Structure 1
Amino acid sequence: MDSIIQGIAIYALPVIFAITLHEAAHGYVAKYFGDFTAYNAGRISLNPIKHVDPIGTIVVPLTLFILSKLTVGAGFLFGWAKPVPVNFGNLRQPKRDMLWVAAAGPGANLVMTFFWAFIIKLGLIMSDSSFATPMILMGKAGIEINVILMVLNLLPLPPLDGGRMAVSLLPQRIAYQFSRIEPYGFMILLLLLFSGVLGAIIWPIITTIKLIMVSIFGLYI
């Protein structure tokens, strides 16, 4: 039980900011390309409260984390925030600009992996401080959750960001047909998750990215 409580304390901040900054980035880039829907709704904010979904940001990640501690071979940690409202019709060039709006979320997660890598390095430098170990553990958690969210969201499955990026890049006729998958996307994702197929697809990619982080920053993750 103590290890679960300690783990929750370590993962809480990285999970909340990984999910909420991901959504805020979508809104910011949408505003840049002409859609003020998220801005007018107050969703371009670094305040996590603006983005937290009680189920996706708290209940699901917490449940998966506890299961990972109690069950050998449990699934990976992930979650979601309240989707930032984007009216793609308001974008200056909707099909083209959709690519950048969608890519902004995973891009934010990538930036946060570098931030948490810096926190680990700082913790290693401050090795004599009582803050060193919590900083290192939180940094490792931050890298893990952001890499997972980045890779997961880049899957070419609407309504994931990778699916929207695919719609933007595909020829108009094919893009329209592909976009019709969106109402079933979440069900497909859950099916892939519980069947183990999702893990088989993304874990090698996640591991490779973490190895790259190790080689760049000289970290042990």
Structure 2
Amino acid sequence: MSPSIEAVEAVELEYEEAPPFDPRTLLGEPGGDKRGINQTSPDIAFRVRTEKGTGLILTENKLVEHSFYSCSGRASGVENPDKTRCMDWENLLADLQERCWQLRWEEGTRRNRKYWDYIQLSEHGRRALTRCPAATAGYQLFRQQALAEGIAASGRYDLVVSCVAYDERNTDLIHCLRTSGVDNFATGWGALFDGRAQFSTFTHQQWVAWVRAHDSKGHWRGWLDYMESRYGYV
């Protein structure tokens, strides 16, 4: 993850920062009565202590899901006049403001989204991608990347990471962005960007193996037995 991390100080579920660093303010999302509804709320957030201060690890957790899903700007009912623009990467990139429906929703039924305000593509990303990275299978990753970049830009944390925890056997998920130009999301997603936030992953198998190796007093024996019997994590 990062050699600068010294300790995990807190773990929170369906994470949301307080305004003005919440997804409604940063990303232009509508929000809802509950966290995770109509907004980018990472499944898990690890608050960590680093060598220089504090850090935040925003984590999407995946078990059997096959992808990070398609962009809501391409969904039925949002009045997108031309969804083919999402697939025409060169022309889309040349005029995002005009061609990305996320930036023009106020002409239709919803508030404009601000994801692209925080996304900084690398030169590699510009060359490697064949369509918008959010279009067909990377929407959750794209939104979390934007959220991480927005929080990182605030300077509140020394370290901000957009992270995915996943099952190493889930090859559909691993290769879900292949048609977008990223053969393996775990090794290829982070290279698409040049922002302040980092991207990292860990597998469920790695997590369980770490706990097993460090549980010298057997405090987690029951949990480890359950993870082995339920999911086959040894």
TM-score, length of structure 1 as denominator length: 0.31
Higher fraction of helix:
1
Higher fraction of strand:
2
